Structure 1
Amino acid sequence: MKHTGMAFLLLRDRPTSRRRGWAISLTCSAALIGAGVSACGSSSTPEAAPSATGGGITTGTGKGGEIPNNTKDPKIAALVPASLRKQGYLTVASENYPTAVIVPEGGGAPTGWEPAIAKQLGDVLGMEFRIKIVPFDSIIPGLQAKRFDIAMGQIAINPERKKVVIFVSEADSSDSFMVKKGGGLDIQKTSDMCGHTVAVLSGSVEAGAVRQANKECKQSGVKPITIQQYNDQSAANLAVQSSRAEINVGSTSTLTYVTQQHPDQFELQGSFKRSDGNITGIAITRTPEGQQLAKALHAGMNKLIKNGTMKAIMNKWNGGTGLIPESKLYP
């Protein structure tokens, strides 16, 4: 399906058996599609699986009104490296992470604010953005191995990642604590996790924040945190639902989405800002071609901010939060 000259494809990269049963109820379009990309890190390799294409990006759900359509900007499009312009598309790594990326059960077009941004950027650049859903912790290694051109999906920008990939900033974020409804916990700050079992996404910045909190628990002489790491967000949610973990730490927008979809099972408690920064963005391969592509994406993002497209996207998909005044390039 075409949208103002840009086709948007969803390519699956691994089997969906891990999402069967109750976990699927947390990973379909009417509920949670887990596995966040608010951070990336380890070296696991995606499992090979047949790819499946979906239709164009849907803007019929969410709140905040329709998102305006942009058209190709010849000046910005000219910044795209010639080899990529000839290719006509970008391979985009991502993971399921509402509300940033929401993939319907059984496949199809992803929704959420990242696909909405991708659509508008594609229109501005005159490029097709092909999203490939991959295991969470394979994204940064995949960029380093040049399997993907870029990655999108609420990827946190921090000093460690800036050493290995280029970033173009998109949004501001925070993290929160999600617990089982009626469990009697009151978790308002990171020190409240001491003595509890916490589920986090493997390789995420939230995992790093929990590890740091655990060091502080030990230094204070109180009971440490028992940390459980999971490969996707739905598994972390299931751990809390089944009482294997007491707390899930993740992006505020994602956990808000989960609690809204399952108000009888989960509740959101306190939120916090990480010390290593809370700005998220598009990650790009660190190559000469990637450096040039980053300039095009940076110019495109600032156009979307200035003409109100980003405000409409964040109103529709992220409760009006996360908007930044200007996109920055981290070469």
Structure 2
Amino acid sequence: MTASSTRRPTAATSRTAAVGAIAVAGALLLTGCGDQTKDKDKGSGESQSASKAPLADKLPQQIRDKGVIKVGSDIAYAPVEFKDDAGKTVGIDPDIAAALGKQLGVTFEFQNGTFDTLIGGLAAKRYDIAMSAMTDTKDRQEGVDADTGKKVGAGVDFVDYFTAGVSLYTNKGDDQGIKTWDDLCGKTMAVQRNTFSHDLAKDQAAKCKKDGKGTLKIEDFGTNPEAETRMRSKGADVVSADFPIAAYSVKNAGGGKYFEIVGDQVEAGPYGIAVAKDNTRLRDALKAAVQAIIDNGEYQKIVEKWGVADGAVTEAKINGGS
């Protein structure tokens, strides 16, 4: 969807407490990634025997035969997915994928690509699914360009598995007087392109112009770490990203000395696993597997491990975004 220009704060926890909750193992600095679709990583799970997996028979036979689900993902979005010091793909999504693999009897193989190419990669059958902190929206479901309103593709179905809002953050000690999105007028924002944050930024820029309060300049980048680097060099005043990502950066980048969150989360929405419209059997198998790990408690352990339990869901849904 094209997000509403009226900002809706999410359920309140204090920013200080929320940032503290993202204390994950290691003070890892974020590193960028290119469109390196040959970069493959099986994440934190190992292939399970399909004969022992309770939901294996729900998968398409072709995937059961291969024993692998290929996952398109922008692996530069800690703590959702990123490379650890050993070069292994880790994070919320790889852990959830490993748990799903136990239910389905397959390995989820993460392949690195820039975020704005992932849905195209599904259409080209480069990937079986896309799992990359992707917000489930009507526009993405329907294959509609959020800027023009024109149909540009077949769209995708989503299996929703998490909820996150969007946050603003600045260089530490230099908040530019930003408390709300309306304070962005006259500022420069760095943001990862084609993300939900990018959509919100464009909506806010139009609102600033309409209200005559100054221009919000938007600089978009292929990865979130690139946007952060731009802000660190004083080329931008503020970065916008999903709350788990913003909070992780605030906690870990520069040992917690680089950034600070300003204002509250807005526009909470579901993360979804994207599946091609014509792959309904895989979609339904994933939904059953997500519900299974919610019911058996594995899901809760994962979100607690990464300090993001506030975004947990209790029910797997298909196309729950609006």
Normalised by the size of structure 2, how large is the TM-score?
0.80
SS of corresponding position for 2:186 = coil
Equivalent position to 2:70, from 66, 82, 91 = 91
The one-letter code matched in structure 2 to 1:31 is L
* CA–CA separation in structure 2 for the residues paired with 1:175 and 1:124: 31
| Partner in structure 1 of residue 81 of structure 2 | 101
- The question of 1:260 aligning with 2:239 is answered no
**Partner Cα distance (1:121, 1:304) in 2:** 7
- Secondary structure in 2 matching 1:78: helix
Runs of at least 5 residues in structure 1 that lack an aligned partner in the other structure: 1-27, 36-44, 59-68
Indicate if the aligned counterparts of 1:72 and 1:123 stay in contact, CA closer than 8 A. Answer: no
Q: 1:301 aligns with which of 272, 275, 290?
A: 290
Output aligned runs, 1:1-331, within 5 Å.
Answer: 30-34=28-32, 46=35, 51=39, 53=41, 56-57=44-45, 74-95=53-74, 96-105=76-85, 107=87, 109-163=88-142, 164-262=155-253, 263-274=256-267, 278-287=269-278, 290-330=279-319
Number of matched pairs:
279
Q: Deviations over 1:144-192 (max 9, x none)?
A: 1111000112110000111111110010001111101121423222111
Change (3 A) 1:239 1:299: same
Preserved CA contact (<8 Å) 1:34 1:98:
no
Cα 1:232/1:265, change in 2 over 3 Å: same
TM-superposition CA deviations, 1:187-211 (whole Å, max 9, x none):
2221111110000111111111011
Residue aligning to 1:11 = none
Give the Cα–Cα distance (whole angstroms) in 1 for the partners of residues 82 and 108 of structure 2: 16
Q: Distance in 2 between matches of 1:57 and 1:309?
A: 13
Q: Residues 201 and 230 of structure 1 are in contact (CA less than 8 Å); yes or no, is this contact kept in structure 2?
A: yes
Take 1:309 and 1:56, find their aligned partners in 2: how far apart are those partners?
Answer: 14
Distance 1:230 1:104, change over 3 A: same
What is the rounded CA distance, in whole Å, between the counterparts of 2:112 and 2:53 in structure 1? 30
After superposition, the C-alpha distances for 1:289-322 in whole angstroms (9 at most, x for unaligned) are x210011100000111112111111111133221
Change (3 A) 1:73 1:172: farther
Q: Is the 8 Å Cα contact of residues 43 and 94 (structure 2) preserved in structure 1?
A: no
Q: Percent identity?
A: 26
State how far apart, in whole Å, the 2-side matches of 1:253 and 1:70 are.
33
Letter in 1 for 2:28: A
In the alignment, residue 97 of structure 1 is paired with which amino acid?
Answer: Y
What is the distance in 1 between the residues matched to 2:179 and 2:103?
42
TM-score between both structures, scaled by the size of structure 1: 0.78
Partner amino acid for 2:98? K
Query: Compared with structure 1, are the counterparts of its residues 257 and 72 closer, same or farther at alpha carbon in structure 2 (3 Å cutoff)?
Result: farther
Change (3 A) 1:169 1:48: closer
Distance 1:72 1:271 in 2: 47
- Once the two structures are superposed, what CA deviation does each residue of 1:68-105 show, in whole Å capped at 9, x if it has no partner? x9997755211101111111101101012111112124
SS in 1 for 2:133: strand
Contact kept in structure 1, 2:45 and 2:101, CA below 8 Å? no
The separation in 1 between residues aligned to 2:210 and 2:52, in whole angstroms, is: 55
Distance, in Å, in 2 between the alignment partners of 1:70 and 1:115 is 19
Q: Kindly indicate whether the alpha-carbon contact (under 8 Å) linking 2:190 and 2:220 is maintained by their aligned counterparts in 1.
A: yes
Using the alignment, how far apart are the partners of 1:91 and 1:304 within structure 2? Answer: 20
